[in-house]
Structure 1
Amino acid sequence: PAQKKVVGFNGSGGSPRGLSLETARSKAGSDGYLPRYGAATVNVPGAVDAWWSAHQRYGKLPWKEVLLPVAELCEQGVPVPQVVAYYLERNMAGFDRAAATIEENDNRKKVWLTGGRTPKTGEIFANPDLGRTYRLIAEGGRDAFYDGVIADHIERYFKRIGGWMTRADLAAHRTEWVEPLMTTYRGVEVYSLGPNTQGLSTNQILNICEQFDLKAMGFQSAASIHVQAEAKRLAFEDRARYFADERFAKAPTAWLNSKEYAAERAKLINPNRVMDRVFPGDAPTQGDTTYFSVADSDGMMVSWIQSNYRGMGGGLVADGPDGGTLGFMFQNRGELFALSDGHPNVYAPGKRPFHTIIPGFACKDGEPWLAYGVMGGGMQPQGQAQIIINMVDYGLDPQEAGDSPRWQHYGSSEPTGQPAEGVGKLHLESGVPEATKQQLTAMGWDLGPPDGGFGGYQNVMKQINEQGRWTYGAATEMRKDGNALAY
């Protein structure tokens, strides 16, 4: 608020410097891509340094006071909510099926299979190993994790199981403060983080949709959903072609984010028929996720997202002191590297993979407006665009915008090198009108049923009042264990 500025930071970690491209390729599955689980998919965990960096710059409470209550919850245990119980059981079963491809399986069972099964809804689940890890970080700050006793445990663990992560990899990691990318959508300033995230895809979808009168087309109409989904297909081809760690491969972000490029792409959309094939633009030659938004009485608004990627992560939990564990699972974000020569997102030691996680932020009339996000892999830019469209074009409030039926398109090309699957499949939630579904089918869309993959949304809105002080509004997600709290 003091700077009247939107700032961003990228906390994602790089791949182990001891893991070569040749070795990574040797770990590929029969499909030619990196596996879902195991040490080859593990990058340096970035969350601890991200929290530390944000706290160092903006925190008000002492660092210990922030972490110690969480450590106590780990030790005492908390009731398990429905969605968490469901995904714990589902993910642990998935790890069991893939156990042969995971270098070590006992530690995850120590943490989450107490009594031989995952905790059920409403049961108390404790993780004292994680509590001990939090206490070490509370006492020693980020260095305890990246250049101290926790780093030593991590290095010994990966050496034991034949992995590559070292203390040197951890010690070299730093959160990067970045300038967000900004576009406007009918006068609203929409901010996103650039590559290696997919935040630019939200901007591109909105830039293309701005070329059409969605309001006149009608809320939940076939015409409106058709344009939005086609805009997604166009944006995701660029996502697959260009998005990567910009320290290794510079993407033409200014061009991709421009209104001129969006106008060119919008001309490709046939209002009556789905496009048979979609290609990325030809660039000019020069060039299980957690989301929350928080705001305070000073006007500080934070949009934050972090993720272990596929489900709970890569299946690996490091050894800890006294025969225990460190209590957390390493992410498997490295699965999103490509392995083909010349691809911007091709694996390299010390490189950050393409990331799906993107926090969202929007300003209106020069004032902060929304700190918002939608969890869910490739659903995130699709969901973020739908929230903005619902609020700007259709006049919905933050809760209505999130409760409205959503669409999600699958089958676009991927930054791993996987090609598009024809026109893909357009999944619609049950609240989409039947007449809309019939019209979309007639346009050539292959419709899929509701599949539970429509994201998880949270939002804090700053409302400027004509009379009196500004106020906040909050919205939460009915599809997840979301919660809106005010103080």
Structure 2
Amino acid sequence: MRDFHLPGRSEVLAENGMVATSHPLAAQAALDVLKRGGTAMDAAICGAVLLGICEPQMTGLGGDCFVLWSRPGETRIRAMNGSGRAPAAASAEAMRAEGHAAMPLNDARSVTIPTAVDAFCQLSESDGRLGLDALLAPAIHYAESGVPVAPRVAFDWPACAEILQGPALRHYLPEGQPPKVGARFALPAQAEALRAIAREGRDGFYRGPVSEDMVRGLNDAGGWHSEADFAAARADLVEPISGHYGGVDLVEHPPNGQGATAILMLNILAQFDLAAMDPFGAERAHIEAEAAKLAYDARNRFLADPDHCTRLDHMLSPETAKGLAALIDPARAMASPTATSEAVHRDTVYICAVDRDGMAVSLIYSIFHGFGSGIASDRYGILFQNRGAGFSLTPGHANELAPGKRPMHTIIPAMLKEDGRVSAVFGVMGGAYQPNGHARVLSNLRTYGLGLQEALDAPRSFFDDGALTVERGYSDEVRAALAEKGHAVEIPDKPIGGAQAIEIRADGVLVGASDPRKDGCALGY
């Protein structure tokens, strides 16, 4: 139990339904759907689409999604890959000929075909009750009337807005500068696109005026896209993957998502006596950072479009984890995980909901970097993701850019199974941090016995781009000890990640938690 003398928040408990997400309006709209008899899938879709209005720097109709869910009375977890493919005209050779060693971030050629809308349409039909018109109504309302800008959104906006270009400037900087906290932000043109989807389903987005506007906007910005690319967009049902840690099964989305990275990282951490370490001390942060280096190195080598990913079994093997764990020096940070691990590898916005019938949904929906590619369509203001930046331009790499191929993705939803039943749904936002975040949250819960909200509140660290970023929640003594081990320690400007979670207790009580690093909340009834 938390110390009530200190700032914090309590977990939310309810019995009939629960949602948790990063903005209060989206949480409330999703909860209203549950109260009206909608399923957890209905609630997740409703809240996710509204997040594109409330947090436009994070997600939107021009993005992708991954979904895990379980149906009432079933122990099976299902998965849908709602990530987009490269256009038919995409060419790695052309990018290399221009001198690119890596895919550029803010270039129309790094825009894959947005596929979240197709996933939402399929899932509404297969696992919803209320219909798209009802689910999109809150987003249509707020797109027209506007939303007061929340504190974390206002914090993110200035830095993200630097990449906006062309029509995106008109839609996302309507006053010529980032909005302040409480300023009203609206996307009235996008309400028309949402109405087309509500009226016509996927054809309202992938064919006709909305599609024509998107293709024209991308081509004007130098893209390779065609209306045929959009018409062909399809989300696919896939089989999830899983690993075991601390008495529970962690269920992740398969490649081209990076869920295997979280499983590998936990398998590495399981080789150490974490329970003997201070949960907020330097020793645990060091071992976690070294495990992340090795797991992310494996991710970059192997994860790709599922049709091109051939080393997944190797990544998930306990023997691989043991070999990598043996490379970790408890006293010293490794300089190059790629060189160190070569011998082992010789043979890559979130909402959760639970309804009164027991359906559980873990859904993540994103445009990748802040404001995605920075490119938006002219008429409807649909902002495009830059997921194609996740492709490699290395000839022969499993993740090399190619026509119709899906890139390695950072977004990953998660679920936990215990004693054969789904016991929790959770996700950790934050780009590359997400696998590390899954490992951190699960080890907080199972190794250190923290409560659900405590596990999200706890300070975080993350090795990224040559530096170990350590939140201010850690003490100066911990930062100094990490520096002595050879880490280049930095305090990040922004908090690391943002998580949401719902525990499904065996007695039927639902426990919700929401990360204070975001504006959101958990709500139940």
Same fold per TM (> 0.5)?
Answer: yes
Aligned residue in 1 for 2:331: 272
- Residue pair 2:498, 2:518 contacting (<8 A) in 1 also: yes
Q: 1:293 aligns with which of 330, 346, 352?
A: 352
Q: Tell whether 2:422 aligns with 1:368.
A: yes
Match of 1:65 among 129, 134, 158: 134
One-letter amino acid of the structure 2 residue matched with residue 431 of structure 1: G
**1:1-25 Cα distance to aligned partner (Å, 9 max, x none):** 3321111111100111112223333
Write out per-residue CA displacement over residues 184-222 of structure 1, whole angstroms, 9 at most, x where no aligned residue: 002210011122111111001101111111111232222
- The one of 87, 91, 96 equivalent to 2:160 is 91
CA contact 2:193–2:204 (8 Å) conserved in 1: no
Whether the 8 Å contact between 1:28 and 1:34 is mirrored in structure 2 is: no
- How many pairs were matched up? 450
Cα offset, 1:161, TM superposition: 4.2
* 1:233, distance to aligned residue in structure 2 (A): 0.9
Q: Which amino acid aligns with 2:163?
A: G
Looking at structure 2, the residues matched to 191 and 444 of structure 1 have their Cα atoms a distance apart, in angstroms, of: 34
> For the residues of structure 2 that align with 1:118 and 1:475, how far apart are their CA atoms?
30
* Counterpart-to-counterpart distance in 1, 2:477 and 2:214: 55
The answer to whether the Cα contact below 8 Å between 2:163 and 2:373 also exists between their aligned partners in 1 is no
Structure 2: distance between partners of 1:144 and 1:27: 36
Q: Which runs of 5+ in 2 are unaligned?
A: 1-71
CA distance in 2, matches of 1:120, 1:26: 43
Equivalent residue, structure 1, for 2:505: 463
Distance 1:276 1:109, change over 3 A: closer
Q: 3-state DSSP class of the match of 1:369? A: strand
Does residue 304 of structure 2 align to residue 244 of structure 1? yes
Match of 1:310 in 2: 369
The Cα offsets for residues 77-113 of structure 1, whole Å up to 9 and x where unpaired, read as: 1211122223233222333xxxxxxxxx331122122
Residues 297 and 284 of structure 1, relative CA distance in 2, 3 Å threshold:
farther
Hey, what's the Cα distance between the residues in 1 that align with 2:161 and 2:331?
45
The match for 2:14 is: none
> Partners of 2:161 and 2:442 in 1: how far apart?
36
* 1:100 aligned partner: none
Q: Which runs of 4+ in 1 moved over 4 A?
A: 26-29, 280-285
Return the alpha-carbon distance in structure 1 between the equivalents of residues 426 and 99 of structure 2. Answer: 36
Range with greater deviation from structure 2 (18-27 or 402-411): 18-27
Relative to 1, partners in 2 of residues 1:89 and 1:227: Cα closer, same or farther, differing over 3 Å?
closer
Partner of 1:225: 285
- What are the within-5 Å matches in structure 2 for residues 112-191 of structure 1? 112-191=172-251
Structure 1 distance, partners of 2:228, 2:364, is 26
Letter in 1 for 2:116: A
- Which of 158, 179, 198 pairs up with 2:258? 198
Q: Secondary structure at the match of 2:301?
A: helix
Describe the SS at the equivalent of 2:254. Answer: coil
Q: Within the alignment, does 1:2 sit opposite 2:56 as a pair?
A: no
State whether residues 196 and 355 of structure 1, in contact with CA within 8 Å, keep that contact through their aligned partners in structure 2.
Answer: yes
Amino acid in the other structure paired with 1:471: V
Q: TM-score, normalised by structure 1?
A: 0.88
> Alpha-carbon deviations, 1:428-476, whole Å to 9, x = none?
11222343333322222221123314101111111123xxxx1111111
Match of 2:406 among 352, 355, 377: 352
Amino acid in the other structure paired with 2:129: K
- Among 491, 494, 512, the alignment partner of 1:452 is 494
- Would you say the 8 A contact 1:201–1:381 is kept in 2? yes
2:477 aligns with 435
Taking the aligned partners of 1:118 and 1:442, their CA distance within structure 2 comes to: 40
- Does the CA contact (< 8 Å) of 1:223 and 1:271 recur in 2? yes
Contact 2:368–2:386 (Cα < 8 Å) also in 1: yes
Is contact 2:109–2:222 with CA below 8 Å preserved after alignment?
Answer: no
Q: What is the deviation of 1:69?
A: 2.8
Name the residue aligned to 1:342.
Answer: 396
Q: Is residue 2:412 matched to residue 1:390?
A: no
Counterpart AA for 1:463: R
Query: 1:246, 1:260 → 2: CA distance?
Result: 23
Residue matched to 2:512: 474
How far off is 1:45 after superposition? 0.4
Letter in 1 for 2:474: V
For the pair 1:381 / 2:419, whether they are aligned, the reply is no
Equivalent-residue separation in structure 1 for 2:155 and 2:472 (angstroms): 22
Instruction: Report the TM-score, using the length of structure 2 for normalisation.
Output: 0.82
Q: Is 1:13 the counterpart of 2:84 in the alignment? A: yes
| Alignment correspondent of 1:56 | 125
Residues 360-416 of structure 1 deviation map (CA, whole Å, 9 limit, x = unaligned): 1111222212211111111111111100000001100111001111111113xxxxx
What value does the CA root-mean-square deviation take over the aligned residues?
1.8
CA shift in 2, pair 1:464/1:154, >3 Å: same
Q: Give the % identical residues.
A: 37
1:148–1:85 Cα change, 3 Å: same
Query: 1:376, 1:453 within 8 Å by CA — same for their partners in 2?
Result: no
Shift of 1:169: 0.6
Q: How far is 1:27 from its partner?
A: 5.2
1:253 maps to which residue?
Answer: 312
| 3-state SS, counterpart of residue 115 of structure 1 | coil
Structure 2 CA distance for aligned equivalents of residues 447 and 92 of structure 1: 28
The runs of 5 or more residues in structure 1 that have no matched partner are 96-104, 320-324, 412-423
